[in-house]
């Protein structure tokens, strides 16, 4: 088999290549790449049979590989340090994985499975399903803080307060942050997240974090004692009775 390795860690690429060549000398590592875009170009030019793909890399997550191909005609083994939820997703989709740090026994099992079946029937469909599951479980917003890009899980967002061209974001896991994006853009980005609701011209709230509501002064109390305003329309939608 022709093999490509895509991993942002130099040491991880080198270790995996040594293990493959030491215990599967009949196979050939034809390329090693540090990020997904470079790896995609390598796949298109080198036509591998198998790709070992790191799950979390700067810029693109490994599962986003489905966005670069109309058809997947190679096998993928994900290399991951993911949580139990994601591991279940891998297993249900029948897409193979090995955990970091890489253990030789698990690598051997993955290689054997690939060698026994290189058929790609419905493989793109399986990858699409896996990708969609992982996107939902790990959906984030990103922002720049003191020159560094940071991330915040959607599920940790408590509320967002408009501040002109900026938005103040309150969460369960961080101090309030200011992001240079207006609240309308956040509203558009959150269309696929029903729990994130625009409840006022100045507020988006996460309805999963509601503690109590005051119908008399049109406010809602959220976790961490966050207080947001409600429009009459939003109050009726949240509490129709």
Pairwise CA distance, residues 121 & 118, whole Å: 9
pLDDT reading at 241 higher than 80:
no
As for how many domains the chain has, the answer is 2
Q: 221 in a domain, yes or no?
A: yes
Q: Is the pLDDT of residue 111 over 60?
A: yes
Same domain, 62 and 153: no
Burial of 119 (0-12, 13-18, 19+ CB in 10 A): exposed
Q: Angle at CA 99, nearest 5°, toward 97 and 101?
A: 145
Q: What is the CATH number of the domain that holds 156?
A: 2.40.50.1020
CATH number at residue 111: 3.40.50.2300
Q: Is pLDDT at 13 greater than 90 in this prediction?
A: yes
Strands 210-214, 219-222: pairing is antiparallel
In a shared domain, residues 20 and 121: yes
Q: Does residue 142 lie in a domain region?
A: no
195-213 average pLDDT score? 92
Question: Which structural domain range is residue 116 located in?
Answer: 2-137
> 95 and 38: one domain?
yes
Overall average pLDDT of the 112-133 stretch: 67
Q: Are residues 65 and 160 in the same domain?
A: no
Is residue 64 located within the same domain as residue 87?
yes
Q: Kindly state whether residue 220 falls inside one of the protein's structural domains.
A: yes
- Does the pLDDT of residue 82 top 70, yes or no? no
Question: 151 and 133: one domain?
Answer: no
Examine the domain organization and report whether 190 and 164 are in the same domain: yes
Q: What was the pLDDT predicted at 90?
A: 65
Give all strands (DSSP E) within 110-183, no chain letters: 140-145, 148-153, 157-163, 166-171, 177-179
């Amino acid at each position: 088999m022709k093999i490509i390795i895509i991993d942002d860690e130099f040491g991880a690429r080198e270790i995996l290549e040594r293990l493959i060549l030491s215990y599967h000398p009949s196979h050939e590592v034809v390329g090693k790449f540090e990020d997904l875009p470079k790896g995609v170009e390598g796949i298109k030019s080198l036509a591998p049979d198998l790709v070992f793909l790191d799950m979390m890399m700067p810029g693109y997550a490994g599962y986003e590989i489905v966005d670069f191909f109309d058809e997947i005609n190679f096998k993928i083994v994900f290399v991951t340090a993911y949580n139990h939820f994601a591991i279940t997703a891998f297993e249900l989709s029948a897409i193979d994985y090995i955990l970091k740090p890489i253990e030789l026994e698990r690598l051997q099992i993955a290689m054997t499975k690939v060698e026994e079946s290189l058929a790609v029937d419905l493989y793109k469909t399986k990858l699409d399903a896996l990708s969609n599951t992982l996107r939902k479980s790990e959906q984030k917003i990103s922002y720049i803080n003191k020159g560094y890009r940071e991330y915040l899980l959607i599920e940790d967002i408590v509320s967002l307060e408009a501040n002109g061209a900026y938005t103040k974001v309150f969460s369960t896991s961080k101090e309030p942050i200011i992001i240079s994006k207006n609240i309308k853009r956040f509203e558009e980005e959150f269309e696929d997240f029903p729990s994130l609701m625009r409840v006022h011209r100045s507020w988006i709230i996460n309805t999963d974090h509601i503690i109590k509501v005051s119908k008399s002064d049109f406010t809602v109390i959220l976790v961490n004692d966050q207080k947001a305003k409600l429009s009459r329309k939003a109050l009726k939608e949240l509490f129709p009775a």
